[in-house]
Amino acid sequence: MPNLLSSWKKHSAALLAGALLLTGPLTASTAAAAAVYQEEATKAIELKLGDASISPDKLIPAAELKKLFDQSAKLAGGDATFTAAVKGATITRKDAAVMIAKGLHLSPAAEPYKDVPDKASYASSVGAVMEAKLMLGVNQSQFAPNQSLTYAGAYALAYRIYNYSMPFLLPEATIASIQQAVGQGKLTYKELVQQYLDRIEKYDDQGIKLNAILTINPKALEIAEELDKERAASGIRGPLHGIPVIVKDNYDTNDMPTTAGCLCLKDSIPSEDAEQVAKLKAAGAIILAKANLHEFAFGITTSSSLGGQTLNPYALDHYPGGSSGGTGAAIAANFGVIGMGTDTGGSIRIPSTYNSLVGIRPTIGLSSRDGIIPLALSQDVGGPMTRTVTDAAIVLDATVGYDPDDVATAASISHIPSSYTSYLDAKGLKGARIGVATELFGTTEAEQPTTEVVQAAVKDLAKLGAVTVDITIPNLKEIMAYPSLSGYEFKFQLNEYLAELGSKAPYHSLTEIIASGQFDKSMEASLKTRDARQSLNTEDYKDIVLFRTKTTKDALLKVMADNRLDAIVYPSTTQTAALIGEAQNAGGNNRLSPFSGFPAITVPAGYTAEGLGASIEFLGRDYSEPTLIKLAYSYEQGTKHRVAPVLAP
């Protein structure tokens, strides 16, 4: 069967590319759309809905199509039955559209195709299947209603019907699967929120007690109900309409406390949302909860005086990474759809690695930091932590852009595409030149498990069509010797943040917070050291800001130019999650992105023999998020390493 299926794939690929029988995105290229169609037809055969021995270009009879569609719905647990619209040896695309629309009881809808007369009896069926994304046109203006349907096309449609008929399952739900379920009437946003609240109660408050969540939005159900009404009345605002989000508790929210995990801020409710939170709300997202973090984002183990120690859902006796470890553990355990973290050194990418998530640290200046409790604004960014690259790209679309309250974002103008999702290309690695930073692969016994996983990932890049080139980053030792600027900037920027809270501020300075004693006592020495700093107007600080950034940027740009690279890859962390109580060492690879300001994306690369996550990180030039998303998506789709934690089924 493998050889037969392989032969069928090759035959159907050529056929579909020529016929342009697309069910993929309307904006897809011919090759990309044909690939989508072929992949779905192949999946139907793997589900035993099709037969690889049948020539893919053979025309399917109406009776066979009915039988195939009935089997698809039944296999998914549905009860839909289909009636052949015509009798005879062949069936056309318009006939298939009518069969699907009637069998699945789709609501009639308008269609945009020039070759479908508006008064045609089948026009509303074409519109219905288009709206349900079960059948689309051969291009943006043509549906090809009279084109005969082949077995290849029928199998692809069968797989779509199978997917459409599946009951909604909360674990590992994506933005797309949720919107499809709501559109089909299988789910409401209010029901979705309740299901997530139930999971939080079951696995965070009880049972395995992950301890990932600090605050639940008391109005989440009410907001969801309003968004249900809005969708019914006027449609959805966009893909994030009704989608529950968990944000790290250093993002300001005007309806919940923003604490940075510190007892000193437990009752602090800012008057305005952080800019990225405001944008998410405007897009229709629901801020479901605030997540625990390493207090003030100081460390990578996620422990705080307010929230205690968050656990790793893959291994409860291990750290979840940090400082965005609460967000990471929550999204990995399916407490929400998407998460928002912050990253000064590695605080999005480390917990994304340990929780088998996709994490994007964007270019400094792509997204606003306004309303995020700062650690070091010369390095701080906020970005998505999700279970898929697709969902991360959707979140990026909603959160990037110029904000007059964060002047760094002025540089993003003209660097933002119409949508990052247009770069989701499963073949994106084909022909790409990827630099492998071999010096960043650990060699010690503790580092070896991660190194082996990421070395295998590099081989997968090559299998997926990339050209991998071993590289040496100039001046790497000098770059890695520079410190983070959080030790310099934190006091001054925190004091500014507290001042902006105005009369609502529980304290007005780091000095007052230390005097209160309302913080994690293990941080006292670190807080006092930062508080003792008198000014940023010092030569050593200015030298670091100037020379560290220039040295890192120049080194990365040179090695990429010399080797004609699209991106550089390396292990996100050099070691896996440590046992709670032991020292956590993630290595220094995560410094390249914040020291240069360049973007990086981490993607699950697999698991060690202990079942602990390891990730590969893609780093590019500034504002190269579209390229990184394309490469990361191609790797993700070609490997699909993420597995949900069994401890939170």
The answer to whether the bond into 323 is cis (omega within 30° of 0) is yes
> CA 570, CA 455: separation in Å to the nearest integer?
9
Question: 597: closest CA among 364, 375, 399?
Answer: 364
To which H or E segment does residue 96 belong?
helix 93-103
Partners of 615 in the β-ladder: 604
Give the helix ranges, DSSP H, for 517-548.
524-531, 539-543
> CA 104, CA 125: separation in Å to the nearest integer?
11
> CA 258, CA 273: separation in Å to the nearest integer?
10
Q: How does 454-479 read in b/e, with b if 16+ C-beta sit within 10 Å?
A: beebbebbeebebbbeebebeebeeb
Work out the burial of residue 644: count CB atoms within 10 Å of its CB; fewer than 13 is exposed, 13-18 middle, 19 or more buried. Answer: middle
What positions carry a catalytic annotation? 248, 323, 347
Query: Token match 């009915």: residue?
Result: 66
Give the DSSP letter string of 305-341: TTTEEPPBTTBTTB---SSSHHHHHHHHTTSSSEEEE
Three-state secondary structure of 130-144: HHCCCCCCCCCCCCC
Task: Answer whether 17's CB lies under 8 Å from 30's CB.
Answer: yes
The DSSP output letter for 286 is E
Q: Cβ atoms within 10 A of the Cβ of 579, count? A: 12
Biggest CA pair distance of the chain: 87
- E strands within 131-239? 213-216
> CA 390, CA 423: separation in Å to the nearest integer?
10
> CA 43, CA 55: separation in Å to the nearest integer?
16
* Strand pairing category for 613-619 and 567-571: antiparallel
> CA 384, CA 392: separation in Å to the nearest integer?
6
Task: Answer whether 268's CB lies under 8 Å from 215's CB.
Answer: no
> CA 526, CA 533: separation in Å to the nearest integer?
11
The DSSP output letter for 183 is H
